[in-house]
């Protein structure tokens, strides 16, 4: 029988930390008192609850007091008040975790690199330029000067400091951190002999080092539900320690030697991955579970998990609202409590041993963690279980070989590279599993985000579990599922006739960014205007449209939310040329475009106002910008770059379409002053529908259809309700990619039709 005595204590301590972080330390006290009082009542009323009650009273009281004190100290820190007023501060900080590169989809962000980093430093987070900060290691102290800003809440962070310049008075890194950094660097060097995508994946798979990971691979792992493979977790530690255990037992040594060897392997791996809080959490949880297994006490797995929560939560109460910690605990709990029973039932039904465990483990972990993931992302991965079942067999050998390569490289670069080459088949397999599953129709399904979404999905899963326990309900559910497969799924896969016959333009749903496809009279040949913010969304849209080739790609401007998907388009499709406007800023993006086009042997062309592109069934006139220099200086970003967007007038079978990039007030005023013919049947609304549009400009265009390319829940407030109201007052029908998905304009004798993916209707 499983020992559950520690479970109530762990839940109480976790709840105390969560409530304190969300509502304040006073509520931590209150909840702790209520828990202790409830435990005392249960102890007096029932002997069965007495052991649990004693533990709650003793350990829960101590943990509650400590957690409340820590949260109170954080809440009353004087720096919080300074942050509220945006004060300039000079602080001495100690780096607690490796700097995290910022990869965003907003304007001006760098793809495949990072201009800025987040540097965790205890209860302070430093937001800084990568130069000077990216190479800092945990344990190093430095002086930072910058503007303090309030933290987002939900943890113990007192303030975010926006650093000015490089750190000063930097102390040397601790020896073990220096060794860990040197070993990780050696693994990156050894992996460099692999193809580019594999070279970036292997260090991430082995030690969580995603420095060189391709953004496309990262996006595909996210959609496929395989991101956990790129973060150090208890699974990594179990693989390494398990390999050591197996080797020692194979040599004939006893369990004590094996236990010591496994313990040393865990310590060594923690040093290798970097002894930062996330790794230490994995070490505690994985180590305790491994210890229970080594001792032959499988029923100790649940108490080990509970003890890990009880130990870690007072040390770092911010774990109470840490999504990674919650996912780790839930996944481990699923592997301990659910997966063994499911595996046993599968074996009883004739599934071979090994295969049963390989299916049960990822299925249990995914279903238990799915509500949390859905609440965080607003999406449910349909392919995650299949992807992880197929990927799982190669993870362990790749991890073990990668660790050997890491250890061997300092002594012999040749040996390290030889071992790294041995990880190539595994890395190739993982990349292609993620790529194939993430590109499947319905790979992810939109779901309500936040607490409501998490609770809703949990309720659905509980209802599904109840249905499966009843034979007649299983029959009913089976009929419903078969009906859905035969009717609903084919309709979704084809998009209810998607793409619609005679489509002239499609605004792709690529999140917070732009990507628009213009058809020609030659089936499968299209012109692409911008490529969206990431590497996977645009390819999915092009696949749905049955695109065969792209004679021309035009990039309205070089912000990341318009050029981020260029690499994947060049990889997956034959492209004739890539056109860029006169402004070549930001410089990093211009360099990247030139590098990508050169690598793909695709011509890069300069596009200027007055130029005309003629293709079968499509003509494009470039009407702006005019008189823009190729460079605006090192600080150019934001509005100046937006106003230098290419503005295109497309004559199509569905009528005239005006594509406006991200032009704002000045860019629109310049257009109005030129007396250009701006009237159009369809308007690609400037800058994702931001409020920076002139009413005179919208009146001049007077579109029948207005397409807004925008991401759901974006932090910029796009689209502006003021702009949407103005468009509707002009008689335009407004489509938004965040609500309507891929949105098409279709030619007809009565004027343009619009088609939300699977829902066409006429525009009057």
Residues in Cβ contact with 295 at an 8 Å cutoff, skipping those fewer than 6 apart: none
SS3 content of the chain, % helix, strand, coil (to 5): 55, 15, 30
In a domain, 470, yes or no: yes
In a domain, 364, yes or no: no
Count of other CB atoms within 10 angstroms of residue 493: 13
Q: What is the DSSP string of 93-156?
A: EE--S--EE---SSTTPPTTS-SEEEEEETTEEEEEEHHHHTT--TT-EEEEEEEEEE--SSSS
Q: Give the CATH number of the domain where residue 670 resides.
A: 3.60.15.10
127: β partners: 118, 162
Cβ-defined contacts of 277-283 (< 8 Å, 24+):
277/96, 277/97, 277/316, 278/97, 278/231, 278/232, 278/324, 279/208, 279/232, 281/308, 281/312, 281/319, 281/325, 281/328, 282/232, 282/233, 282/234, 282/236, 282/237, 282/328, 283/234, 283/237
In a domain, 205, yes or no: no
Cβ pair 149, 160 in contact under 8 A: yes
Cβ pair 20, 317 in contact under 8 A: yes
The confidence score (pLDDT) of residue 493 equals 44
Same domain? 107 vs 165: yes
Under-70 pLDDT residues of the chain: 1-4, 43, 45-53, 102-115, 233-235, 255-256, 259, 275-282, 285-301, 441-443, 469-497, 629-638, 758-764
Residue with tokens 């002997």: 47
The backbone region for 15, taken as left when phi is positive above 0, alpha when psi lies in -120 to 50, beta otherwise, is: alpha
Q: Which of 116, 144, 173 is the last residue of a domain?
A: 173
Residues in Cβ contact with 352 at an 8 Å cutoff, skipping those fewer than 6 apart: none
Same domain? 517 vs 633: yes
Residue with tokens 């009717």: 487
User: What distance in Å separates the CA atoms of residue 260 and residue 268, rounded to the nearest whole number?
Assistant: 12
Per-residue model confidence as pLDDT tens digits over 535-584: 778 988 998 899 999 999 999 999 988 998 999 899 889 999 999 999 98
Dihedral, 97, 289, 320, 31 alpha carbons, nearest 10:
-150
The confidence score (pLDDT) of residue 277 equals 58
Q: Tell me the three state secondary structure of residue 555.
A: strand
In terms of residue numbers, what domain contains 53? 6-75
Q: What is the DSSP string of 252-290?
A: T--HHHHHHHHHHHHHHHHHHH---HHHHHHHHHHHHHH
In a domain, 643, yes or no: yes
Residue 405: cis peptide before it, omega within 30 degrees of 0: no
Q: Which of 173, 199, 233 is the last residue of a domain?
A: 173
Same domain? 482 vs 561: no
In a domain, 100, yes or no: yes
CA quadruple 530, 531, 534, 540: dihedral sign: positive
Q: Tell me the three state secondary structure of residue 401.
A: helix
The confidence score (pLDDT) of residue 108 equals 37
Same domain? 103 vs 53: no
In a domain, 237, yes or no: no
User: What distance in Å separates the CA atoms of residue 420 and residue 642, rounded to the nearest whole number?
Assistant: 44
Picking from 156, 161, 181, the residue whose alpha carbon sits closest to that of residue 92 is 161
Same domain? 520 vs 589: yes
The confidence score (pLDDT) of residue 255 equals 67
Q: Give the CATH number of the domain where residue 117 resides.
A: 2.40.50.140
Same domain? 621 vs 750: yes
In a domain, 248, yes or no: no
User: What distance in Å separates the CA atoms of residue 617 and residue 637, rounded to the nearest whole number?
Assistant: 36
In a domain, 647, yes or no: yes
Q: Which of 49, 75, 101 is the last residue of a domain?
A: 75
Does this model's pTM top 0.75?
no
Same domain? 681 vs 585: yes
First-to-last alpha carbon distance for the chain, in angstroms, is: 70
Same domain? 560 vs 539: yes
Picking from 550, 548, 542, the residue whose alpha carbon sits closest to that of residue 439 is 542
Residue with tokens 């035969």: 486
Q: Tell me the three state secondary structure of residue 754.
A: strand
Count of other CB atoms within 10 angstroms of residue 413: 14
User: What distance in Å separates the CA atoms of residue 45 and residue 49, rounded to the nearest whole number?
Assistant: 8
Same domain? 743 vs 656: yes
Same domain? 155 vs 36: no
Give me the number of domains the chain comprises. 4
Residues in Cβ contact with 430 at an 8 Å cutoff, skipping those fewer than 6 apart: 201, 205, 226, 229, 391, 394, 395, 398
Same domain? 607 vs 476: no
φ and ψ at 750, to 5 degrees? -95, 15
Picking from 546, 433, 544, 434, the residue whose alpha carbon sits closest to that of residue 492 is 544
Give the residue ranges of DSSP H helices in 470-610. Answer: 471-483, 489-493, 537-544, 560-563, 566-572, 587-599
Picking from 70, 125, 64, the residue whose alpha carbon sits closest to that of residue 100 is 125
φ and ψ at 528, to 5 degrees? -110, 125
Cβ pair 402, 430 in contact under 8 A: no
Same domain? 616 vs 477: no
The confidence score (pLDDT) of residue 107 equals 35
Picking from 532, 456, 442, 558, the residue whose alpha carbon sits closest to that of residue 494 is 442
């Amino acid at each position: 029988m499983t020992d559950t005595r520690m479970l109530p204590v762990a839940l109480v301590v976790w709840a105390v930390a969560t409530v304190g972080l969300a509502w304040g330390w006073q509520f931590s006290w209150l909840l702790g008192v209520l828990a202790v009082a409830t435990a005392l009542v249960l102890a007096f009323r029932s002997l069965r609850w007495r052991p649990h009650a004693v533990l709650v009273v003793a350990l829960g009281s101590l943990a509650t007091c400590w957690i409340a004190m820590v949260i109170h100290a954080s809440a009353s820190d004087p720096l919080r008040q300074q942050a509220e007023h945006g004060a300039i501060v000079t602080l001495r900080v100690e780096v607690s975790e490796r700097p995290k590169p910022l990869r965003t989809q907003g304007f001006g962000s760098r793809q495949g690199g990072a201009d800025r980093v987040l540097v965790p430093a205890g209860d302070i987070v430093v937001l800084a330029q990568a130069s000077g900060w990216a190479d800092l290691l945990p344990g190093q102290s430095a002086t930072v000067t910058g503007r303090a800003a309030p933290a987002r809440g939900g943890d113990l962070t007192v303030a975010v400091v926006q650093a000015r310049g490089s750190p000063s008075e930097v102390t040397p890194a601790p020896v073990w951190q220096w060794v860990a950094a040197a070993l990780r660097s050696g693994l990156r060097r050894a992996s460099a002999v692999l193809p580019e995508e594999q070279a970036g994946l292997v260090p991430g798979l082995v030690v969580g080092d995603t420095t060189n990971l391709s953004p496309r691979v990262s996006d595909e792992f996210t959609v496929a539900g395989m991101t956990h493979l790129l973060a150090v977790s208890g699974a990594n530690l179990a693989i390494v320690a398990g390999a050591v255990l197996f080797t020692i037992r194979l040599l004939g040594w006893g369990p004590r030697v094996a236990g010591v060897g496994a313990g040393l392997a865990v310590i060594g791996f923690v040093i290798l991955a970097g002894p930062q809080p996330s790794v230490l959490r994995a070490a505690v949880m994985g180590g305790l579970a491994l210890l229970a297994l080594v001792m032959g006490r499988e029923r100790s797995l649940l108490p080990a998990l509970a003890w890990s929560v009880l130990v870690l939560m007072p040390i770092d109460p911010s774990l109470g609202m840490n999504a990674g910690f919650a996912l780790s605990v839930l996944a481990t709990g699923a592997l301990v409590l659910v997966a063994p029973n499911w595996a046993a039932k599968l074996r009883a039904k004739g599934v071979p041993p090994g295969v049963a465990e390989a299916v049960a483990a990822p299925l249990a972990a995914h279903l238990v963690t799915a509500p949390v993931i859905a609440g965080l992302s607003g999406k449910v991965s349909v392919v995650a279980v299949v992807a992880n079942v197929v990927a799982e067999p190669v993870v362990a050998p790749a991890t073990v070989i990668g660790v050997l390569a890491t250890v061997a490289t300092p002594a012999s670069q040749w040996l390290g590279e030889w071992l790294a080459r041995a990880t190539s088949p595994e890395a190739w397999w993982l990349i292609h599993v993620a790529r194939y599953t993430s590109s499947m129709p319905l790979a992810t399904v939109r779901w309500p985000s936040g607490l409501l979404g998490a609770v809703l999905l949990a309720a659905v899963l509980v209802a599904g579990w109840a249905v499966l326990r009843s034979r007649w309900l299983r029959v009913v559910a089976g009929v419903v599922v078969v009906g859905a497969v035969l009717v609903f799924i084919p309709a979704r896969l084809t998009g209810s006739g998607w793409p619609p016959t005679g489509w002239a333009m499609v605004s792709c749903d690529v999140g917070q960014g732009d990507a628009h496809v213009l058809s020609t009279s030659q089936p499968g040949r299209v012109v692409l205007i911008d490529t969206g913010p990431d590497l996977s969304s645009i390819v999915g849209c092009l696949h749905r449209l049955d695109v065969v080739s792209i004679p021309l790609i035009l990039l309205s401007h070089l912000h990341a939310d318009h050029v981020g998907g260029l690499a994947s388009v060049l990889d997956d499709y034959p492209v004739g040329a890539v056109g860029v406007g006169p402004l070549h800023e930001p410089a990093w993006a211009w360099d990247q475009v030139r590098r990508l086009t050169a690598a793909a042997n695709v011509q890069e062309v300069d596009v200027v106002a007055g130029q005309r592109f003629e293709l079968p069934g499509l003509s494009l006139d470039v009407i702006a910008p005019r008189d823009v220099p190729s460079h605006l200086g090192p600080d150019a970003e934001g509005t100046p770059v937006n106003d230098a967007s290419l503005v295109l007038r497309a004559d199509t079978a569905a009528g005239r379409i005006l594509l406006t990039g991200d032009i704002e007030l000045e860019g629109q005023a310049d257009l109005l002053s030129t007396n250009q013919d701006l009237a159009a049947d369809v308007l690609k609304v400037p800058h994702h529908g931001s409020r920076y549009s002139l009413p005179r400009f919208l009146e001049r265009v007077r579109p029948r259809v207005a397409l807004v390319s925008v991401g759901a829940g974006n932090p910029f407030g796009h689209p502006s309700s003021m702009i949407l109201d103005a468009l509707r007052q002009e008689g335009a029908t407004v489509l938004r990619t965040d609500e309507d998905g891929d949105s098409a304009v279709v030619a007809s004798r009565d004027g343009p039709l619009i088609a939300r993916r699977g829902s066409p209707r006429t525009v009057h």
